[in-house]
Amino acid sequence: MPDAPLPIDRDSDGTVMSEIGQAPATSPVLSADQGPLVSVRDLVVTLNSANPVQLVRGASFDMAPGEILGMVGESGAGKSMIGTALTGLVASPLAITGGSIHYRGRRIDRLQGEAMRRLRGREIGAIFQDPLTALNPVFTIGRQLVETIGEHLGLSGQAARAEAVSLLAQVGIPDPQGRLDSYPHEFSGGMRQRVVIALALAGRPSLIIADEPTTALDVSIQGQVIELLRDLCARRGTAVMLITHDMGVIAALADRVAVLYAGRIVEIGPVAEVIARPRHPYTQGLMDSIPELGRRLPRLRQITGAMPRPDALPPGCAFAPRCPKVIEACHQAVPAFDADGPHRAACIRTDARVLAA
């Protein structure tokens, strides 16, 4: 694929935007010593109502360039909210009220309007659950791709069409040249999601937020789309935040996984480690069944009750009322992480420092 020169555009603070992520499609994955791609610290997202409610309560994690980070947890845990915060789409009545998000060392959680719009798509792409919401039904997919390519890469005319054909070919659309003039409804669900992946890749982003990218697809097609996403991102060195209920998808695709419960990350670590040796009792419940592609979060059979609503959290550990390992101290304070290493859980029952005290 030709590497077109990117137009130089400056953000309001004078930063040259094309300096912070113009890695060509074939660039090798940046080495870890160049710092994290994304660094989220103590992120708080609040629903501003008469009584403000925190929906994300102090999430912290890094993502390395090219890394796939899975976000898993029950419905309402706050997975999409974290993805939304990274794409700069948190809108009233929701607001980021605490913490920070850095992208390539630059703070982005306060970017607004045009500056955020430029970052989105060009640096940070998004793939959502329903491909139809990402596609405009009244325009051909060729037009949508060419527009996106023009906006983010500054290509027009034949060059933009050629790039659109190349993208469609890369996502496995047969007869890509001929399909440029098709409308979204003329594609099957699986093919539509491939088109959405092509659109998300069009700006050659360094990070893609994929929120339930295969949930709306037939199980038989899910595996193909997952493999496609994994292979394309590996080849391009694109990092992916993969939001899903499906532990099988996480096991097949992610390098690391963060487990969310009631707005907090309760465990984070390398996927193989977390699956083999889950530390938090909640994660242990989740991992109770053998992950395989297409299997959604199992019901927490041994753990009764439901995740509390964000406006009705119990004191201390939010999981304590359902936890088979609960002790009195669990109700006293929100637990900190039990370790500083790559695999850590927010649980006093696994914290050697607390157990030793």
Q: Which is nearer to ligand ATP, 312 or 352 (CB)?
A: 312
User: Minimum Å distance from CB 163 to ligand ATP?
Assistant: 33
User: Minimum Å distance from CB 82 to ligand ATP?
Assistant: 7
Q: Which is nearer to ligand ATP, 64 or 134 (CB)?
A: 134
Q: Which is nearer to ligand ATP, 84 or 350 (CB)?
A: 84
What distance in Å separates the CA atoms of residue 74 and residue 68, rounded to the nearest whole number? 20
* Token output for 252: 């097949």
Specify the residue for token string 């984070």: 268
Pick from 297, 279, 2, 24: which is nearest to 165 by CA?
2
Residue 170 binds which entry of ligand ATP, Mg ion, none, CB below 5-8 Å type-dependent: none
What distance in Å separates the CA atoms of residue 83 and residue 241, rounded to the nearest whole number? 8
Q: Which is nearer to ligand ATP, 55 or 239 (CB)?
A: 55
Q: Which is nearer to ligand ATP, 235 or 299 (CB)?
A: 299
Residue 129 binds which entry of ligand ATP, Mg ion, none, CB below 5-8 Å type-dependent: none
Residue 35 binds which entry of ligand ATP, Mg ion, none, CB below 5-8 Å type-dependent: none
Q: Are strands 207-211 and 94-103 parallel, antiparallel or unpaired?
A: unpaired
What distance in Å separates the CA atoms of residue 317 and residue 294, rounded to the nearest whole number? 31
- Following CA atoms 193, 194, 199, 202 in sequence, which dihedral angle do they give, to the nearest 10 degrees? 160
Residue 73 binds which entry of ligand ATP, Mg ion, none, CB below 5-8 Å type-dependent: ligand ATP
- Please pick, from the candidates 1, 30, 44, 47, the single residue that binds ligand ATP as defined by CB under 6 A: 47
User: Minimum Å distance from CB 111 to Mg ion?
Assistant: 23
User: Minimum Å distance from CB 25 to ligand ATP?
Assistant: 30
Cβ neighbourhood burial of 293 (10 Å; 0-12, 13-18, 19+): middle
Encoded one letter per residue, x for contact with Mg ion by CB under 5 A and - for no contact, window 71-90 reads: ---------x----------
Given a contact cutoff of 8 angstroms between Cβ atoms, the answer to whether 267 and 283 are in contact is yes
Q: How many residues does the chain have?
A: 357
What distance in Å separates the CA atoms of residue 126 and residue 85, rounded to the nearest whole number? 12
Encoded one letter per residue, x for contact with ligand ATP by CB under 6 A and - for no contact, window 63-92 reads: ----------x-xxxxxxx-----------
The answer to whether residue 55 forms part of the interface with ligand ATP (CB under 6 A) is: yes
The answer to whether residue 244 forms part of the interface with ligand ATP (CB under 6 A) is: no
Per-residue burial over 102-130, b if 16 or more Cβ lie within 10 Å, else e, is bbbeeebbebeeebbebbbbbbbbbbbbe
User: Minimum Å distance from CB 153 to ligand ATP?
Assistant: 31
- Please pick, from the candidates 203, 248, 310, 335, the single residue that binds ligand ATP as defined by CB under 6 A: 310
* Token output for 26: 């074939």
- Give the residues lining the site for Mg ion (CB under 5 A): 80
- Give the residues lining the site for ligand ATP (CB under 6 A): 47, 55, 73, 75-81, 94, 245, 310
